[in-house]
Every structure is written in C-alpha cells, then in structure tokens.
Amino acid sequence: MYKSVYLIVPKSCENDQLPPNSTSQITYHDLETFNGDSSSIYVLDPEFSLSNLQPGRNYSISIRAVAKGIESVEKSTTVATSA
C-alpha cells in the first residue's frame, strides 16, 4: 500500500524574474535505498499530492519554479511516510 504526501509550493520558491504562472519541478527520492524510488515531475498547481510513495520510508523532496529556461533556487525537505 502506498502513502501520499500533500504539498503546497512555498512562496519562497517564487522569483521576481519568473512569471506568476510558472511550472514547479518536484523531485523526490528514497533516502534509505540505493537506486530506490525516485522521480521528477512538473506541476502547474501550487497544491498537489505525491501519492505513489512507499510506506515507512524517508524521502527527500525538492521543489523549484521553472519558466522559460529560468529556474528559482531549489528548496528541499525530508519527509517520512507512515508504515
């Protein structure tokens, strides 16, 4: 069974050079396994859910705004999914 993580794009990912409707790049990977679960996705909405995470794992999740080849500074956090 998979667990979900609900995320809201933080205002700190915004960049004055980026248009208001920029895309967010979300990258995540499992911190506990070599060559474990990882992915990178692009979303338009400031709120979204990562619903394909394995239970009982620690994930590093990074987010940055991207528009017209310009990227904001990446923000990262670590989350643990429940078993």
Quick one: CATH architecture of 3-80?
Sandwich (2.60)
| Mean per-residue pLDDT over the chain, rounded | 76
For 10-31, the pLDDT digits (tens) are 554 445 555 666 788 889 998 8
Q: State the average pLDDT over residues 64-73.
A: 82
pLDDT(59) > 50: yes
Burial classification of residue 29, based on how many CB atoms lie within 10 Å of its CB (0-12 exposed, 13-18 middle, 19 or more buried): middle
pTM value? 0.73
Task: Name 77's bridge partners.
Answer: 61
Whether 22 contacts 9, CB under 8 Å? no
Domain range annotation of the chain: 3-80
pLDDT(65) > 80: yes
Query: What whole-number distance in Å separates Cα of residue 66 and Cα of residue 69?
Result: 7
